[in-house]
Amino acid sequence: MSEKNSYQPETLAVRAGAVRSQFGENSEALFLTSSFTFDSAAQAAERFLSNEPSNIYSRFTNPTVTMFEERLAAMEGAERCVATASGMSAILACVMALLKAGDHIVASQSIFGATINLFNNIIKKFGVETTYVSATDVSEWDAAVRPNTRLLFLETPSNPLTEVSDIAAIAAVAKRHGVLLVVDNCFCTPILQRPFDLGADIVIHSATKYIDGQGRVLGGAVLGSKKHMEPVFGFLRTAGPTLSAFNAWIFLKGLETLKIRMDAHSANSLELARWLEVQPNVARVYYPGLPSHPQHALAMKQQKSGGGIVSFEVKGGKEAAWRVIDNTRLISITANLGDTKTTITHPASTTHGRITPEARAAAGITEGLLRIAVGLEAVVDIQNDLARGLG
């Protein structure tokens, strides 16, 4: 593995973590088995009591899941990866394993809606409080840290407005206060952004998005040092939101094409964002790859390219935004993202529909805002599909 870690990311994506069974298969095997057998009572006892990794039961470990964990760990540059049943269970496992009653989280206010629900409605019941701060104003992070703060949590670029947080600057705040920085790297993947190189302590993934890349299955991952991942693994082993072997096998295959897909998602997105910027009925385009983006310079320093999410505001509010959606014939009307298929969503009435209109307005999510997760179709076909409703 140490030799493998000197390979380029696209090589790691295809090769890292692969372990052959006795049959010498070239493609990674799918081990669909809930438990593993032992040769004798003595071997069973030895495996159960040993600290050495060996397969006992798939809630603990499974060879296909282990291959996925090793491959993603190599790509992110992490000591260890722990795979989970979904992106949300990755965040749950992280906070359940590393925090206790009385602890405090400082989080970006521009994070995934379910993460906010998890912090406000579930973790809070167990005595962990969260303070929300601006994704982009580093001084707010510094000011929000209390003596009982244990971790800082951010996601960049944010959804749906693509705000870019300065990972290195916020990591410096975390170091100064002796707390952990957790980065949800779902939108960029290790191909476009490497949070550990910028000082993050823990990286979270929803593998459901770009790592699968073809909209099939749910999964997630938590990555970090062996010291931080041991309790995360312990939580999963006991509580059970582990990744299924089948989904791990899908993700292993997804990682193999991640580099060429991310490059293509980014190239298509930039072309679409440039086109949207000159449409008369578009009031504003949000895309980190555009020079008009407020954190364009930071994004270009921190990310390899702009990524696959483009949001834009149409003139005429909700009615005009819905007209764009209802006139599509190609683009999928769904809130998922990271798929080869382009998807469109109206955040104000879907992903952000349950928050108060005031909170929505404060977050900049207007009635005319649309979010596109740009897929791998020809950009001209995506443009024509949007042009029909843009008028």
- Interacting residues toward ligand PLP by CB under 6 A: 86-88, 112, 114, 155, 159, 184, 186, 206, 208-209, 218, 220
How near is the Cβ of 201 to ligand PLP at its closest, in Å?
18
Q: CA 40 → CA 21, 34, 37, 49, 233, distances in Å?
A: 21, 19, 9, 14, 27
338 and 308 Cβ atoms separated by less than 8 Å: yes
Yes or no: say if 134 and 106 are a contact pair by the CB < 8 Å rule. no
Tell me the H-state helices in the chain.
9-15, 41-49, 63-76, 87-98, 113-117, 138-144, 167-177, 189-192, 226-239, 245-256, 258-277, 296-302, 317-326, 357-362, 379-390
The span from the CA of 218 to the CA of 92, in Å, is 15
Radius of gyration for the alpha carbons in the chain, expressed in angstroms and rounded: 21
In the bound complex, what is the minimum distance in angstroms from residue 42's beta carbon to ligand PLP? 41
Q: Which is nearer to ligand PLP, 164 or 320 (CB)?
A: 164
Among all residues, whose Cβ is closest to ligand PLP?
87
Q: How far is the CB of 220 from ligand PLP (least distance, A)?
A: 5
H or E stretch covering 282: strand 282-286
- Smallest separation (angstroms) from ligand PLP to the CB of 121: 16
User: For 156-184, what is the HEC assignment?
Assistant: CCCCCCCCCCCHHHHHHHHHHHCCEEEEE
Nearer to ligand PLP, 275 or 352 (CB): 352
Q: Shortest Cβ distance from residue 258 to ligand PLP (Å)?
A: 16
Q: Which is nearer to ligand PLP, 170 or 282 (CB)?
A: 170
Token pair in block for residue 130 = 């969260």
The nearer residue to ligand PLP, 180 or 186, going by C-beta atoms, is: 186
Q: Residue 123 or 282: which CB sits closer to ligand PLP?
A: 123
Cα–Cα distance, 278 to 290 (Å, whole number): 12
55 Cβ contact partners less than 8 Å away, ≥ 6 residues apart: 36, 61, 62, 63
C-beta of 190 vs 389, nearer to ligand PLP: 190
Q: Which is nearer to ligand PLP, 86 or 244 (CB)?
A: 86
Give the residues across from 57 on adjacent strands.
35
* Spatial contact of 63 and 19, defined as CB atoms under 8 Å apart: yes
If the CB atoms of residues 68 and 112 are measured against ligand PLP, the closer one turns out to be: 112
Q: Which is nearer to ligand PLP, 243 or 282 (CB)?
A: 243
Backbone angles phi, psi at 344, to 5 degrees: -130, 140
Least separation in angstroms between residue 339's CB and ligand PLP is 12
Contact 225, 201 (CB under 8 A): yes
For the CB of residue 89, give the shortest distance to ligand PLP in the complex, in Å. 7
Least distance (Å) between residue 159 CB and ligand PLP: 6
- The closest of 142, 206, 204, 132 to 179, measured between CA atoms, is 142
What's the closest the beta carbon of residue 88 comes to ligand PLP, in angstroms? 4
